[in-house]
Every structure is written in structure tokens, then in C-alpha cells.
Structure 1
Amino acid sequence: MKMHLTTAAAGLLLLAGVGAAAAQDVIIQPEQETVIREYVHKQPLASIKVPGVELSVGSTLPDTVELHEVPNVKYRYVVVDNQTVIVDPGTRKIVEVLQ
């Protein structure tokens, strides 16, 4: 009986961890992505260099990088190495790299 409880407890902890990881995934709604793409196209920025940062979802941009607002959208954007990246301003994590 004790072994079954230990196994069940371990399973619950594993599921809790998976749930927490899934909660960190950011999904930009298609409507928001359209608004962001149109705004970025109309408001182009000069590209900057950020040494040591990989431009991929989940990477964190340093505080020295200025994030630019998109009206009525939670996220911010910046152009790094000629790629537009969408950033969560609270965590400064890249949530999408626009192609």
C-alpha cells in the first residue's frame, strides 16, 4: 500500500510540473498577431545587436534593450539582427520571432 501511495504522489508531482510548464507557453491570438504585424510594418525600427542572446522563443532580452509598444496589445517588439521579435514586457522573454 505504501508503494502505491508513493507512486501516486510522484505521478501527481510530475503532472503538476507539466501543467506549470504548459502555463508558461505564450500563444498570441491570430487577431493580435495581425495587429502586431501591421503595426511593425508601418513603424519600422532600426535593427540592433544584442551579443550573447539567442533569438528564439523563451530567450530573455537584457534590460538595456528598449522595447517598443504596439497600441492595444500586451506585447512589445524590437528588431534584433534584422529580425522582429515579440516580447512579453513583464518577463522580457521572446514570445515570437516574426518571419
Structure 2
Amino acid sequence: MKHYLTSVAAAVVLLGGVGATLADTIVVQPEQETVVREYVKKEPLASVNLLGVELKLGSSVPDKVELREVPNVKYRVAVINDQTVLVDPDTRQIVEVLH
């Protein structure tokens, strides 16, 4: 039983590391950032205020936040707490916080 629990604990740690590694490997090209910035200037998005939401890579965006499609960009854009973020539409995880 002790060996089984140790194996399960090791698997959980490894899987957690894999998720963190995947989130770190997403690279948003500078050209995509430029397209997004220009889009947001032309098509201003209303900021959604979310208390207690930390805007960092890998954070999940709640379903109530509308994700807007940007032409020629894989990710979707949203403005949360006056901060523009790129979000993976499949996982709703933040892949880039634009400053």
C-alpha cells in the first residue's frame, strides 16, 4: 500500500510539471502581438472586471468572459481588469498578457 501511494504521489507531481511545462512552451510571435494590438485599437473591447482573478500564464478565464476572434491569430483576445490577454480558445487558459 505504501509503494502504491508513493507511485501515485510521484505521478501527480510529474503530471503537474508537464502541465506547467506545456504552458511555458507556448510562444506568441511578435507579429501576432502586433496584429492583436492593432485590432484592439480599431475594435476596442470593454474591460471585464473580475475580482480575485490573477492574470498570468496558464490562468483560466471564466466562461462569462467573451473571447473575441482576431483575424489571422490562433488565440482569442479579451480585456480583463483593463489588461489585454490572449487566451487559448480550447482550454480558456491565458497564453499571453500584453503590456
Query: Greater relative contact order: 1 or 2 (C-alpha under 8 angstroms, separation 6 or more)?
Result: 2
Following the alignment from structure 1 to structure 2, what is the Cα–Cα distance between the partners of residues 48 and 68? 13
Say what the alpha-carbon RMSD is for the aligned residues.
Answer: 2.1
Q: TM-score, normalised by structure 1?
A: 0.73
Aligned length: 85
Which residue in the other structure is 2:83 paired with? Answer: 83
What do residues 46-91 of structure 1 show as CA deviations (whole Å, max 9, x unaligned)?
A: 1111233111111001112110110121111111111111111111
Q: TM-score, normalised by structure 2?
A: 0.73
What is the identity percentage for the equivalent residue pairs of Structure 1 and Structure 2? 63
Q: Any stretches of 5+ residues in structure 2 without a counterpart? A: 1-13
Q: Any stretches of 5+ residues in structure 1 without a counterpart? A: 1-13
The equivalences for 1:10-89 within 5 A come to 21-25=20-24, 26-89=26-89
| Aligned residue type for 1:34 | T
